[in-house]
């Protein structure tokens, strides 16, 4: 029965790219999961225009414990505050990630301690590893020889990318002290320069390209 379930779950990820939709993760705990509403639509538009993707222009919203999460090969989450996954959500998210899914957590400032705690529930046997600057995710269509670009300043720390790998495949990426999502937002929101917003979108495109080709 377990083998049949895994085969079924894997089948949800083999739809042609033109039929694919990415999603924003809705979670409990009090954190503002809904922040940056223009981020994903802008990233999708950029990827469709510059990477030849045909992603649905409107991202979905999916809850951690929902069976609907298996429809989306890429799920993004952000926020400033607390995150809590209950036992059922932990099991669902683990199954999703092991079955071929991918979760990108982008720290909008204040997420670090909470996402680390909750992902330890999901993969207690794994440790987050910092990605070196020569990792392929930084060298897809766009080259970032110094790793993540710095979009917004938080605590005067360098931007870092941390990941979890399951059987050699990256299943989770945590972008810290970078704030890519703010850079994806409409110009009017943060009034970042065109150069800064372009760097953020290019790095986001690299992440999606990496996920879809690895």
Q: What is the pLDDT of residue 137?
A: 98
Architecture of the domain made up of 2-213: 3-Layer(aba) Sandwich (3.40)
CB burial of residue 186 (10 Å; 0-12, 13-18, 19+): middle
Read off the pLDDT of residues 133-161 as tens digits, 9 standing for 90 and up: 999 999 999 999 999 999 977 778 899 99
Read off the pLDDT of residues 179-211 as tens digits, 9 standing for 90 and up: 899 999 998 887 889 999 999 999 999 999 999
List the beta bridge partners of residue 28.
84
Separation of alpha carbons 202 and 206, rounded Å: 6
Q: What is the pLDDT of residue 19?
A: 54
Q: Is the pLDDT of residue 132 over 90?
A: yes
């Amino acid at each position: 029965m377990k083998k049949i379930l895994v085969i079924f779950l894997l089948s949800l990820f083999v739809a042609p790219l033109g039929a694919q939709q990415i999603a924003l993760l809705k979670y409990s705990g009090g954190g503002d999961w809904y922040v940056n509403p223009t981020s994903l639509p802008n990233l999708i538009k950029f990827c469709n225009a510059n990477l030849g993707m045909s992603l649905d222009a409107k991202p979905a919203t999916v809850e951690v414990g929902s069976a609907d999460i298996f429809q989306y090969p890429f799920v993004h989450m952000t926020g400033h505050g607390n995150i809590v996954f209950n036992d059922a959500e932990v099991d669902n998210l683990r199954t999703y990630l092991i079955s071929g899914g991918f979760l990108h957590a982008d720290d909008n400032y204040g997420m670090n301690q909470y996402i680390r705690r909750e992902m330890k529930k999901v993969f207690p046997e794994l440790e987050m590893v910092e990605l070196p600057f020569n990792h392929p995710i930084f060298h897809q269509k766009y080259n970032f020889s110094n790793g993540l670009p710095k979009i917004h300043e938080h605590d005067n720390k360098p931007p870092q990318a941390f990941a979890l790998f399951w059987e050699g495949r990256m299943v989770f990426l945590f972008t810290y002290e970078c704030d890519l999502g703010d850079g994806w937002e409409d110009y009017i929101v943060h009034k970042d320069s065109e150069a800064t917003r372009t760097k953020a979108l290019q790095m986001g495109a690299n992440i999606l390209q990496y996920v879809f080709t690895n």
